[in-house]
Amino acid sequence: MATTLISGGTVVSATGASAADVLIDGETIRAVLQPGSELLGVDLARSVDRVVDATGKYVIPGGIDAHTHMQMPFGGTEASDTFETGTRAAAWGGTTTIVDFVVQTVGQRVEDTLAAWHEKAAGNCAIDYGFHQIIGEVNDASLTALRGLEAEGVTSYKLFMAYPGVFYSDDAQILRAMQVGAETGLMTMMHAENGPAIDVLVQQLVAEGKTDPYFHGIARAWQMEEEATHRAIMLAHLTGAPLYVVHVSAKQAVAQLAAARDKGQNVFGETCPQYLYLSLEDQLGASSDEWGAFEGAKYVCSTPLRSKHEHHQDELWTALGTNDLQMVSTDHCPFCMKDQKELGRGDFSKIPNGIGGVEHRMNLLYQGVVDGHLTLERWVEITATTPARMFGMYGKKGVIQPGADADIVVYDPAGRTKLGIDETHHMNMDYSAWEGFEIAGHVDTVLSRGRVIVDADAYLGRAGDGAYVRRGLSQYLR
């Protein structure tokens, strides 16, 4: 087994930053050596197989993106990144673990869907991967299957209060599922938007000829997110189920989460880079020479981008600082404009919902450090350490310590990263939602379980390097 020394860098954890070398033995971190703590006078740099010079750079735990949808069937098509292309793009951006969603829908056996997702991912991933289970049909059979998920290393499941006729669960179904969530300790993940009410607004807008992508954001008003978030919190309170609200975009939803947390409830929230940087007006409402007002289709996702005039972004950044929101995932769900987003020309409700960004999360959040929203330590916490704890991987993942998997990123704060289709973009998309963004900071070297898979703008990994991560129950509960 090869040994590697990452030398001369500043090791950043969720609790501090200090000069240290990291010694890796095979797939595992063997030691974190502060200056002066040389292993009994051994000249490590000479005795290891490889030295990574991290002088002037941050050495951080590999990013964990706990919300991705590789090759997900959705909106009459399939998300355009496969497990192979999507995990490779993630690696380029300093993410070394994803947790992707297995999709069960009406008429399907949960067990079959989990097996199908294993089939899709096995042998194809560049980095390690785990699974959440989507329950699109809550019934006796799927609830029984939920009870068996922990044994499969799947310790969280997602319900939808949105998308009637697709993934939607009504309150009775949510209550029944959460009872099982409380009994098993599985994390209930919730897509919190009032789907039936949204669908009325959608039909009214389309009937009025308001068919541009912009109206996707009007139909999915913040009240629909606040109301559903509140309802989910109340059902979780009643049942005692731990609750994790995905892709929070409205400040009013954040306030609901904060109020429940202040009362001691095990309630958590994630936001995504798109809600921190992009808006209803500037992106969903954009038009271009190429696409006209359909340009906004690039930014159709749910929950939607919010109005910049309502200052959601400031509140989301603040909530990440105060731990009212615990972490940031991408909700990576890419669709090309051609043949995919185009399905919704003339009717925004037919635009496949989703934005691709798995490659850019570490950089976009580092920009939050540069801009003064986050400390360096909080950057590591919300992108790696908390995702590991939240979803039962901590110890092996999310931390640089002896015994942990050697998933490590060497990040150059003096570097720069241009985002966009012709720049750093390895996702299987024909556009970038981040075109023109330039970030202070650069992912220099990425190690996945001890193997250098990205170095100096070269990709050195292979499909099949990534292994399935069997997760335990959440380590974040109070």
CB of 73 to Zn ion, least distance (A): 13
Q: Which is nearer to Zn ion, 191 or 397 (CB)?
A: 191
302 lies in the binding site for ligand URP (CB under 6 A): yes
- Pick the stretch among 35-43, 273-281, 375-383, 455-463 that binds Zn ion (CB under 5 A): 455-463
- Burial code (b: 16+ CB inside 10 Å, e: under 16) for 86-96 equals bbbbbbbbbbb
Residues 368-427, interacting with Zn ion (CB under 5 A): none
**CA gap 162, 303 in Å, rounded:** 9
7 φ/ψ angles, rounded to the nearest 5 degrees = -115, 150
Q: Around 317, how many Cα atoms within 13 Å sit in the side-chain half-sphere?
A: 18
Per-residue binding letters, 328-347, with Zn ion (x by CB under 5 A): ---x----------------
Count, residues near ligand URP per rule CB under 6 A: 9
Largest pairwise CA distance in the chain: 77
Q: Which of the listed partners (Zn ion, ligand URP, none) does 354 bind, with a CB threshold of 5 to 8 Å by partner kind?
A: ligand URP
Q: Which of the listed partners (Zn ion, ligand URP, none) does 457 bind, with a CB threshold of 5 to 8 Å by partner kind?
A: Zn ion
Q: Which is nearer to ligand URP, 69 or 449 (CB)?
A: 69
Query: Looking at beta carbons, which residue is closest to Zn ion?
Result: 191
**CA gap 104, 120 in Å, rounded:** 15
Residues 190-229, interacting with ligand URP (CB under 6 A): 191
Per-residue binding letters, 420-439, with ligand URP (x by CB under 6 A): --------------------
Among 30, 88, 216, 247, binds ligand URP (CB under 6 A): 247
Q: How many CB atoms lie within 10 A of CB 35?
A: 10
Give 172's contacts (C-beta < 8 A, 6+ positions apart).
none
353 lies in the binding site for ligand URP (CB under 6 A): yes
**CA gap 369, 22 in Å, rounded:** 24
Q: Which of the listed partners (Zn ion, ligand URP, none) does 419 bind, with a CB threshold of 5 to 8 Å by partner kind?
A: none
Which neighbouring-strand residues pair with 51?
5
CB of 353 to ligand URP, least distance (A): 3
Q: Which is nearer to Zn ion, 262 or 457 (CB)?
A: 457
Q: Around 186, how many Cα atoms within 13 Å sit in the side-chain half-sphere?
A: 31
Among 57, 88, 191, 312, binds Zn ion (CB under 5 A): 191
Cβ atoms of 448 and 62 within 8 Å: the answer is: yes
- Pick the stretch among 206-214, 267-275, 324-332, 389-397 that binds Zn ion (CB under 5 A): 324-332
Name the residues that contact Zn ion, by CB under 5 A. Answer: 191, 331, 457
Which residues here bind ligand URP, judged by CB under 6 A? 69, 191, 247, 301-302, 331, 333, 353-354
